[in-house]
């Protein structure tokens, strides 16, 4: 694997979570505006929302670990 997840700092994980949250928001608005492709946009919004939660939790855990070890 060319990239190790442990190489990313806590703020990097939180930035990735923020990016996923933006994708979730855009996909949610697209699901409301486009009736024909609603299922696809809801699927994208769901996956991005789950990724937001996962990356956010990883970022917060790494932040607490960083602050604790100070």
Residue 56: inside a domain: yes
Contact 17, 59 (CB under 8 A): yes
pLDDT tens string, the chain, 70 residues long: the values are 577 777 889 999 999 999 999 999 999 999 888 888 899 999 999 999 999 999 999 999 999 998 998 7
**Rounded distance between C-alpha atoms, residue 54 and residue 61, angstroms:** 11
Total structural domains within the chain: 1
**Rounded distance between C-alpha atoms, residue 27 and residue 22, angstroms:** 9
Residue 53: inside a domain: yes
**Could you tell me the residue range of the domain that residue 19 belongs to?**
8-69
Residue 47: inside a domain: yes
Say what the pTM is.
Answer: 0.85
DSSP state of 1: -
Residue 1: inside a domain: no
pLDDT at 6: 79
Residue 2: inside a domain: no
Based on C-alpha coordinates, what's the Rg of the chain?
Answer: 15
Residue 3: inside a domain: no
């Amino acid at each position: 694997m060319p990239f190790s997840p442990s190489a990313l700092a806590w703020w990097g994980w939180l930035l990735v979570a923020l990016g996923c949250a933006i994708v979730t928001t855009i996909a949610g608005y697209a699901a409301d505006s486009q009736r024909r492709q609603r299922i696809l946009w809801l699927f994208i919004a769901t996956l991005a929302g789950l990724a937001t939660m996962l990356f956010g939790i990883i970022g917060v855990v790494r932040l607490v670990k960083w602050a604790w070890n100070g």
